[in-house]
Amino acid sequence: MATITFQGKPLHTSGELPLVGSKAPDFSLANAKLADVTLATFAGKNKVLNIVPSLDTPTCAASTRKFNEKAAHLHNTVVLVISADLPFAQCRFCEVEDLKHVFPLSTFRSTFADDYGVKLVNTFLAGLTARAVVIVDEHDNVVYTQLVNELADEPDYDSAIAALVNSK
């Protein structure tokens, strides 16, 4: 269990992020067509897992836009924005924001949040995810993680992108 804050108040997660150097846990997440998407769907590619509580918040929207801009154009790289939002809402958000380089994926019927240790527990936000970034290389090894200490803060984009670029 990890502890973060939201507006200075402590929140707890269901576990810990995967360790750098470990294999990324497999997942099954729902895409805009309600089809299951797994880690194998992106085999051979570097993956930016931009994990957010909900795209319907300013910070989550900002991080999705920034990763769309900063990482999506890197060679052999996909950006996955992962939240508890329903796939329809995620798709609508990406269309409105004209985000063509991110894949929105929903945790609404998966164990992803527990498997990656980011599920918020014992709080009014229980069931949503903490804000985190996990960079997974083309061999599905975890090369970078960040659990954002304050839920309302944006992640460290520069460190995430540097880890992605340096993993090659």
Q: Do residues 38 and 26 touch, judged by C-beta distance below 8 A? A: yes
Separation between Cα atoms, residue 29 and residue 21, nearest integer Å: 23
Question: What does pLDDT average to in each consecutive run of 10 residues of the chain (168 residues)?
Answer: 90 96 97 95 95 88 85 85 92 84 93 96 92 96 96 92 82
What residues act catalytically? Answer: 60
Q: Which residue type is seen at 100?
A: K
Helix (H) or strand (E) holding 6, with range, is strand 3-6
Amino acid found at 150: E
Return d(Cα 77, Cα 160) in angstroms, integer: 13
Which domain range does residue 67 map to?
3-166
Q: What is the CATH number of the domain that holds 93?
A: 3.40.30.10
Instruction: Give the pLDDT confidence of 52-101 residue by residue, as tens digits.
Output: 999 888 888 888 888 888 876 788 999 999 999 999 888 888 888 888 88
Helices 87-97 and 58-70, interaxial angle, to 10°?
Answer: 60
What is the count of structural domains for the chain?
A: 1
